[in-house]
Amino acid sequence: MKNWTGVLHLNVEERKGKTVAKNVYFQGALKVMRPVYHDDSGQVCYYLLNPGGGYLDGDRYQMKVQLGEQAKLTLTTQGATKIYKTPKNFAYQESEIILKEGSFLEYIPDPLIAYENAHYKQKNVIRMDKTATFLYSDIITPGWSPEGEHFRYRSIQLLNEIYVDDELVVFDHLQLKPSVQNIQGLGFMEGFTHLGSMIVVGSQADHSLLDRLYSTIEMNTQDFKVGLSALPVPGFTIRMFAHSTQLIERLFANIHQTISQEWFQTKPCFLRKY
């Protein structure tokens, strides 16, 4: 695809116990801040920036990220991803992520807010070594409209493909089209307003971890609903319905903390910007 609105290429590697940038390239309406080290673990954190403040009609974004052997990276955004009205053509973002042997990536963007009449497509392709670890989460809000009504966007489509040693092991496709779907009915949002998803792939994700997660999550309450499923490779995926971003973030943060402490003997840093 030509005429990208924003391009980001980020390549990091491990050097003497610290993850550093091997190559950083960006142009247009996609940038990264200077690297941040939240603790002495050597894991680096980069914040993604959109100088334009949001995605507009016909915008196209490309991101390529590669982690070398044993590299550890946290990738997040500076604020919510805002998709404005797209009257002519959808906004689109694609990401290609490569994880080499023993690497660890946390990709934790802020929530997605689609404005009235917005149309957005996103595709993430992850290619990882079987010894690498990948943690990803996203949150879809009910959107924004001048009248304050929920689900006034045209459509949101999120696609995640995960390959382990070149074999497709996860194909996660989510599409919400309020104009043609009973978006708050059974089989869709089921009366809730916010949808959170988390995918974790890592060799340490055994059945005992899943059992502990099951026991710590109240699967069905009046405030939220959660579903947890094992993957065909070591790992799991979570879907969560709730009425607020903060409730989903709190549950995901608890799971994130468990993984960081048990697998890497570290404590996840607080990434939110408010």
274 residues of the chain, pLDDT tens digit each: 568 999 999 999 999 999 999 999 999 999 999 999 998 999 999 999 998 889 999 999 999 999 999 999 999 999 999 999 999 999 999 999 999 999 999 999 999 999 999 999 999 999 999 999 999 999 999 999 999 999 999 999 999 999 999 999 999 999 999 988 988 887 789 999 999 999 999 999 998 988 888 877 766 577 899 999 999 999 999 999 999 999 999 999 989 988 888 888 887 766 655 5
CB neighbours of residue 260 within 10 Å = 19
The pLDDT score that the predictor gives to residue 271 is 66
Q: What is the DSSP string of the chain?
A: --S-SEEEEEEEEEETTEEEEEEEEEEES-EEPPPB--SSS--EEEEEE-TTSSB-TT-EEEEEEEE-TT-EEEEEESS-EEE---SSS-EEEEEEEEE-TT-EEEEEPPPEEEBTT-EEEEEEEEEE-TT-EEEEEEEE---B-TT--S--SSEEEEEEEEEETTEEEEEEEEEE-TTTS-TTSTTTTTT-SEEEEEEEE-TT--HHHHHHHHHHS-SB-SSEEEEEEE-SSSEEEEEEEES-HHHHHHHHHHHHHHHHHHHHS---------
The pLDDT score that the predictor gives to residue 272 is 58
Angstrom CA distances, 19 to 11, 26, 102, stand at: 10, 19, 13
The pLDDT score that the predictor gives to residue 53 is 85
The pLDDT score that the predictor gives to residue 11 is 98
What pTM did the predictor assign?
0.94
CB neighbours of residue 204 within 10 Å = 13
Angstrom CA distances, 108 to 42, 138, 182, stand at: 18, 7, 29
